[in-house]
Structure 1
């Protein structure tokens, strides 16, 4: 009965014991063991006892040969150390010489295959470190002595001492030596009993790391859970108190209705309970009207601040000052204008962006005399001023109406692209302009312009240096690349040197779960460019399928990666033409109720003087519309006080940016008031105007003034990505994974680690969520809507 649990495996267990006795030379013990097993009818398996080890050995050999061929030094050395025992590597001269040669192979691999200079520099640096540590033992060996100078040679490929390293015959000979060494090493493997006792070191180490990580997560989760439970308990207690107070008030009202007087003491007691937790100075609640006044005071500041943000401005003076005043005054003015969009309610934001567009704030209309506002500021030397303009442009581009307005000035795109490329490091200005371009890339005509201006190539170069980019720049760059690569011409730009985008994208996937917000973008780019046969061939040559399968095992979005593998193995021919989708503009009617925090983050613009004005105070003090003009502007909730025709109301949506009469443009401001009257609940298709709504407004060709209606819930601005007919073979299932359009991201809202250090790839193998990138920024659900 003792052996009962092991009966099913007894034969294999006995064979492992036999193997150990044979390995140790215990001849008499082995004979006694076999004899006793035979007497007791105990089986001894005839199957190879090292079957499990053989499987592991084959897997290790496969990894070693694949990583050798692909030049993956770190992955190879990790497996090499696990496969070859430490004592052999330290004492066996054949093993030491082979390892030295392998280091040489991985050092010259980037040069042999014309990889980016950064790759070659990293390989040389690692080889130099090896020579100074492990490789120092062979420094007196004539055979390897010349290679100690290799890290200091500028062009090894043309150096006579190293020409042999770049011949295919040298690589083939080294590969044969490696295979032969692995066969010989297999013969001295320890018996299976030894491996069972020691356990697989690699797996144990990984499991220990996982256990520690899970413990850490559990501690954080418990801590957060306790906080949430405390908050929940307090809220529950407060609600119970309020319900009790409400019940007492209802009783009091009923008594009053019956003609019974309510004692002042009872009323005072109810008021005292109501204000028990109020964070304000004590008030004399016994005085009539005090309690109601206290309640109204709690919201009066909010209401007054909302009203202040509605005050009409003298936009002619605003534009003149943006051209002619000092740098600090310009920066403060731009900041205040931005705050009217980022720090107001959605309804006020709609009113303000509409006023900006009506009055051509940034000189984007074809007849504007202020077209130089943006170029002059973006090309100045003051970083704070450039940053303020870039922030405002990014904010305006976050709103559909703003995108329509900015896209009306094609010359602006050239200015933005030139300025972005001119920034030689990860500056605020470059990040904000990159965000602006990503959001404007929802418009197909602007996508074409960006591709023509070599933005695809610039983005690939930027992403090669991903470890020096901020989270914001990294996500918006990948999201912009994805939008451009959904166009046929964008794919072709990547196909010129397919190894570069494939290498960059796999590195980004390798950043791990800490950067999972960029995974949907990266996946979208990969699926798109793999539609080209030349890219598929390059991917197969570098063993791309194995790399992707490794990501799947590490917990990446398996569904999207499986589609990528399917695309990789597809034989579908690529049709060299623009799809029907690429001939029309996108649509993007819905807006986020919250603007992304990055727009105001780390804003260091302040007045030069301690008593200087800024924000709304600056606008209302220096730029308020004069009374003779302001009298014509209706209060938002004020009833109409003069006869107007329906055409005047419709004229609000019928604005033409090309109007030559600026005063005529400003005269349309009184129509801002009825905006709430045309609000409508969202439809299943987004916020498209129904046939009934369409009759109530005149539609501008490129502009959508529809506001998100109050109380309609948090809608999202959806990032629309072009679709191509040549990539549509997957049908409805594919549309869930890739054809859907991600929202404009709001990254900082959902990510707590906004100040984390630059990313470092995890070579153990998981590094695009994307729309106009911004971080609500976890990957957003995709949508198939399009933007006018």
Structure 2
């Protein structure tokens, strides 16, 4: 991603969530209130009226009781921005950000000059390092990048060394042939050298962080102390803040003021994290999850965060070698790997690692993250590889199974939708293959989950998936495709509901006369299908023209009949859903969405985790014992500890980018 934004720190750009006191921030939170009240009490006690008035005025104008400190936000942005340009090898952007953050006197100090020398060497060798990581030899044009480092050395001389003999090999770097093989300088291309440099860069950035005021330590123990476990004070403070925010939100809604959807998403994520610190909290579930009418996927069950936590340890696989094998052409694969494994067996092994019910869910989620972290399908490094796999009839089903599993995670969805060519091929397969064939099942599962993504929704609507879904749901005979099974109805209705959140999706539903189809399925015995149909109706009823058609078609009488039946059966979820629909059908006043605006502005799926569809992968796995899968991956075992350490470092960094959420 490498823009520096609040979203990189788990913060919504539109509405910044309030921080807790156990992270580096000075603003909002229970501790901030305590400090401000203590200062006010001190000033009042000594009859310092003018300072007290001035202090209260400044606190109000700066928003300390409502917003996180601009100091903390700026430090976080600076660190992430500079490190992002460092990782991307963007020399110019790094230089600009570095000079803005690091004071000139610090850059001119001996330590600053020595660090600059190492940074110049890093950027000069960046393209060579990338080629070496892919297992190739650098070409002449990559080696020419060292000319800029030679120019730097000629201008600065040896003044940068500052008595540090470990820097001396850098002066030979641009003057030796094949520096990555030369015994004196090849260390520069090692992962250890890169990690040490990155740590020193981050440490230099952290030095610019202003010291935490002493008053915070006087109030309670510093959060950076040895005991890093969350204190009860911090847990209760966050719960109190969430409750207070919930009351404010309800007050706004009661007054008819719209509330950003991101506020609910952020609060839900924070509450889920707090469950881990409250006795019995993991066993408590929000009932609102069961009936929410918004972007969603069919969920088989709800597991606690403890049971689904991602395993932090990687399997001993060389993922770069695995990527080269999967993304290679048949000729390249034969020349580089021989007959050690076949492509179908390797893809089946990957699918087995992702979905086999015999493996614990945390291990499967860890392997899933590794797939998109190390670009195993070549979406980033070889964009033609994944479309080619989807076009290959021998492995297309296995590839779709892998994509269906990847789409179970927010990070996997982002990975897949970044390949527009692959997304188009998947849509084509969904529309062209017979219903309930193995290809259809895998691609529908994947496409339904991808429909949680706004960018994917646009492409799916554009390529006619609304029309396809309405046709399948409304044609029980499935003319030309076969009769739709419960699976097709369940996942197809969920996908349609997500697409109907968009203005373009609503228009397509109107054009396809969705109302009769919805009325036919509203009383389906499957509660998941009913929920999806109700969610689609809820979106469409925001349109005046659809409300008029629904009134003429007798939807209100049908809803009241269903409501009465659900009440008698004690089906509280259906009762609430029907009540929502009746309110939309007969609004007291024109709502902001009546003109057909978007029902949601952002992806709201980052808290979705349902990697539990083992039955889908069972169609393709074959050997359930897992022995053949392990044998197929043997040629890709990591042979050195250096490879494992480098991968573990990258994996932890990827986990931080995709799953770290600050309370």
Normalised to the residue count of structure 2, the TM-score between the two structures is: 0.45
Whose Rg is larger? 1
Normalised to the residue count of structure 1, the TM-score between the two structures is: 0.38
